[in-house]
Structure 1
Amino acid sequence: MAEHPASAPMVVPADAPPVVEARGVATVFGKGRDAFTVHDNLDLTVRRGEILSLVGGSGTGKTVLLRHILGLTVPTRGSVTVLGQPATRLGGEGASARVGMLFQHGALFSAFNVLDNVAFALRELGTLPDDVIVDAALVKLRMVGLKAEHATRMPADLSGGMIKRAALARALIMDPPLLLLDEPTAGLDPSSSDEFCDLLRELHAALGLTVIMVTHDLDTLYALSTRVAVLAERRVIVSGTPQEVARFEHPFIDHFFLGERGRRAMAQPAAERPKEA
């Protein structure tokens, strides 16, 4: 990935206020003999300005944790707060104004064109004239590298990279301070993945975003993360910079970070990695 001097990520102060706090979270699905515990006494703090990557094996509850942060699901025990408020209040106060979500495959509405997808949350508010909404949507499209001519296209007519960009514009339409990314570069070819990482780095710095990202892609992780949290054994077993986490002794970490792909990703030029706090 080429160095991108104009988009160096923010340095996160050690005393930056928390944006997300999970304390003693337990998540149990089912009852009795059919009960399945996903999280047990999970703690996690995400501070303002971080790009935190969540990694873990299949079934460790990464996406479930994102749903707790969005307020879509409630832990069996424990608490999750977002911007100082219980995450469960997000729905009532307008989640999209506080948290933007980029889904793995974009999740654009297939019956809407790109402009209508991006403008959806503003139109749902019902407080702005449509010409203002259209202008705001076009600004966000330009922000993610799409042109006005793309606004009238349908999702089926977009490339994978363009779908990701349109979905990102939709996630940012309400200028939320917190952005959640679920496998942001999944399905993209290496060149498109590099370009999307550059875009995310630019937006993180320019908008002062706090980002929580679920990813299995080590190149993306090393390119963007200021911190990594590893989910295993039903909790966060370690968090720190990618380099710190890679030194933690655990079978998953050995396999994920120290295999051939991990060593290759770790060897990328230091100039391309986020600055540590």
Structure 2
Amino acid sequence: MDADTIVAIQGLWTAFGSGKNQVVIHQDLALTVRRGEIVSLVGGSGTGKTVLLRQMLGLEQPAQGQVTVLGQPAAELSRAGAASRVGMLFQQGALFSAFTVLENIAFPLRELQTLPEALVRDAALVKLQMVGLQPTDADKMPADLSGGMVKRVALARALVMDPPLLLLDEPTAGLDPNGADEFVALLRALHQGLGLTVVMVTHDLDTLFALSTRVAVLAEKKVLVTGTPAEVVAFPHPFIEHFFLGERGRRALAPLPALPIAEGALPHGK
């Protein structure tokens, strides 16, 4: 694996249950993510998008196949120190309700038990302001935060150890349109400013088109197609037609330059 390959997945099988009750989610799936990309994972319900993120993070193991992240097996990311190389923003933020904002952000650094408390606090404050919050927000509790602030605190925590790879699970879910636009702008600025590589699961087409350098479509238990948003939209497949070219998709596409659409890819009756 060359130095610019951040994630390499080969021959991946994911299955739940056993015997007659076994359900296969992924079958011989392959995906490569290169340095500096923002790759969006899209697919129908049950295609294992979030499961794939958890496998990249080393939280779940596939039945077969290899998941290599930053040059090492993803299973090794749970070892001391290795987890600092990957940040994860969970869909609902997953903040600790009994911790203040600053304590939530500082938690990964405190878990190391190797840094002075003053340095931990300063690093957490830097990340707090990096995501657009104020020092006066540091002592607030999660219950006192808006949905947008929860997302920002969770993002600051994901970035507090300066990981080169950031995983996002539905980053704009639950935000109103203005809040979603602001969060997308923040993610774009951090991606550029920090040189991050990002893998993102999203159903929000505005977010997808605003951020993605490539899109990977999960269907038929594999990555069906990868490419720029324009290339993926042009790929003839029922899920792509429904997802990108239905009424919701056309609204998201409207502000963009005309994208090629494969012959026969238009919805029925259009």
Indicate the residue corresponding to 1:136 in structure 2.
Answer: 123
Indicate the residue corresponding to 1:113 in structure 2.
Answer: 100
The alpha-carbon deviation at position 94 of structure 1 amounts to 3.0
Indicate the residue corresponding to 1:231 in structure 2.
Answer: 218
Indicate the residue corresponding to 1:103 in structure 2.
Answer: 90
From 179, 201, 209, the counterpart of 1:222: 209
The alpha-carbon deviation at position 29 of structure 1 amounts to 1.0
- Number of matched residues? 256
Kept in 2, the 8 Å contact 1:96–1:171? The answer is no
Q: Distance in 2 between matches of 1:217 and 1:95?
A: 31
Matched, 1:27 2:40: no
Indicate the residue corresponding to 1:171 in structure 2.
Answer: 158
Q: Distance in 2 between matches of 1:47 and 1:122?
A: 27
Give the percent of matched residue pairs that are identical in Structure 1 and Structure 2.
70
Matched, 1:86 2:73: yes
For residue 187 of structure 1, give the secondary structure of its aligned residue in structure 2.
coil
From 43, 53, 59, the counterpart of 2:30: 43
For residue 76 of structure 2, give the secondary structure of its aligned residue in structure 1.
helix
From 158, 163, 174, the counterpart of 1:187: 174
The alpha-carbon deviation at position 256 of structure 1 amounts to 0.2
Q: From the superposition, tell whether residues 114 and 96 of structure 1 become closer, same or farther in structure 2 (CA, over 3 Å).
A: farther
Q: Distance in 2 between matches of 1:234 and 1:89?
A: 25
Indicate the residue corresponding to 1:158 in structure 2.
Answer: 145
CA displacement 1:55-81 (0-9 Å, x = unmatched): 000000001101110011111111000
Kept in 2, the 8 Å contact 1:70–1:95? The answer is no
Q: Distance in 2 between matches of 1:267 and 1:211?
A: 25
Q: From the superposition, tell whether residues 183 and 95 of structure 1 become closer, same or farther in structure 2 (CA, over 3 Å).
A: farther
Indicate the residue corresponding to 2:186 in structure 1.
Answer: 199
The alpha-carbon deviation at position 263 of structure 1 amounts to 1.3
Q: Distance in 1 between matches of 2:216 and 2:253?
A: 17
From 264, 271, 275, the counterpart of 2:251: 264
Q: Which 5+ residue runs of structure 2 have no aligned equivalent? A: 258-270
Matched, 1:74 2:57: no
CA displacement 1:195-253 (0-9 Å, x = unmatched): 00000000000000000000000000000000000000000000001111011111110
Give the RMSD, CA atoms, in angstroms. 1.1
CA displacement 1:103-126 (0-9 Å, x = unmatched): 001000000000000000000101
CA displacement 1:79-113 (0-9 Å, x = unmatched): 00001100000001434311000000100000000
Q: Distance in 2 between matches of 1:29 and 1:264?
A: 37
Q: Which amino acid aligns with 1:60?
A: T
Q: Which 5+ residue runs of structure 1 have no aligned equivalent? A: 1-14, 271-277
Q: Name the structure, 1 or 2, with higher relative contact order (CA <8 Å, separation 6+).
A: 1
Kept in 2, the 8 Å contact 1:144–1:165? The answer is yes
